Amino acid sequence: MSFASVTQAGPAQSRSARVMIVDDSAVIRGMIARWLTEAGGFDIVATAANGRTAVDAAERSKPELILLDLEMPEVDGLAALPMILKAHPASKIIVISTLTQRNAEISLKCLSLGAVDYLAKPESARAAGAAADFRRDLIEKLRALGEARVRPLRSPAPVLSVLQAPSVPGASRPAAMKPQCLLIGSSTGGPRAVERVLLDLKPALSRIPVLIVQHMPAMFTAVFAEHLQSFLSVPAREAKDGDAILPGTILVAPGGRHMGVTTSGGKAFIRLNDGPAENFCRPAVDVLFREAAAVFGASALATVLTGMGSDGTHGARHLTKAGATIIAQDEATSIVWGMPGSVVKAGLAHEVLPLEAIGRSLRGLITGSSK
């Protein structure tokens, strides 16, 4: 397929996010450009039909946000991504691809190379419902990333001692109880953040089960779990209904299903369900946090990492009231300070830390050592 020439738009509108669309389909490029124009707040500064032209376009047009298709002629998205970031390091790249096992693996590889997020394209333009979901998710992700780029700098959020719970009606202070389960909630930018936290925590992973809700479509979550196992050399898998929650095991909520916790015979097990989406999410962090609070109480330990929206805040209220400890990622190191920011603003975070300090703090709480 011959590729279309790069097109460029005029000067960016005031505070509009500068966007480049890279896709080998002229229909897809035109459709996305129309959606973003209708949504407002976006300036389409360039389009390209393959990775080769995208590199030149990125260098010339200086986009802040880039939508990058994976499957393209000449130079595909995986090959183009590092070249684009080298040409324009300040850009934030969202990878878009059809939902296949291979594309899920490539998308996660792209995240390790510097992409900030991913989005599954509908397999067919005739799938009206899927197209509507894709449009909504695309605009929400771009808007969240666009808002992050113009957010005024703030003073660092105060770090609250884990021995001094924030003022929350009905909440108790965290008890001096050994954590029995680590809960992680994340979304946009989450895979890399989860990697970093677990790598820093690795010496203590054998002591505690880890339950993760990362907003991802079905298929991606299984690949993500496999990646974590390979990366950490620790047992990790996509959770199944009825899985025992055991120390030294990482369980990832499957895309499209809520992951909660239940008990039987004094032991804890995974409970999956297909209930309604919460905060437009399934799996939802709120479901995990809420049910874990009922099962583990003050022995639960949770962290909320980078992500758009407010998923996790309602569940964090249950955890705090149960006496559990919650650590939130700070604004400076978050790709999008939506989820952790919501928890912090609600007064539910016992510590607010940069990404590079979270694993160390969790390790100290789990092992009882500050080293």
Euclidean distance between CA atoms 79 and 131, whole angstroms: 27
For 245-256, write each residue's pLDDT tens digit.
999 999 999 999
> With 0-12 CB in 10 A as exposed, 13-18 as middle and 19+ as buried, what is 304?
buried
Is 17 strand, coil or helix?
strand
pLDDT at residue 11, rounded to an integer: 40
One of 43, 200, 311, 330 is an active-site residue; which one? 311
- Clarify whether 299 is annotated catalytic: no
Q: Can you give the pLDDT at residue 146?
A: 87
The encoded tokens of residue 165 equal 């719970």
Instruction: Catalytic residue, from 97, 186, 215, 227: name it.
Output: 215
The predicted structure's pLDDT at residue 130:
73
For the chain, report the end-to-end CA distance as a whole number of angstroms.
57
pLDDT at 172: 40
Other Cβ atoms within 10 Å of 9 Cβ, number: 17
Domains delineated in the chain: 7-150 (3.40.50.2300), 181-367 (3.40.50.180)
The pLDDT score that the predictor gives to residue 5 is 34
Active site (annotated) includes residue 97 = no
Are residues 63 and 45 in contact, defined by beta-carbon separation less than 8 angstroms?
yes
Q: What is the pLDDT of residue 218?
A: 86
Annotation marks residue 117 as catalytic: no
CB-CB contact of 318 with 312 (8 Å): no
Tell me the longest C-alpha to C-alpha distance in the chain: 66
Catalytic residue (one of 187, 299, 310, 334):
187
Residues of the chain with pLDDT under 70: 1-14, 124-129, 149-176, 370-371
- Residue 148 has a pLDDT of 74
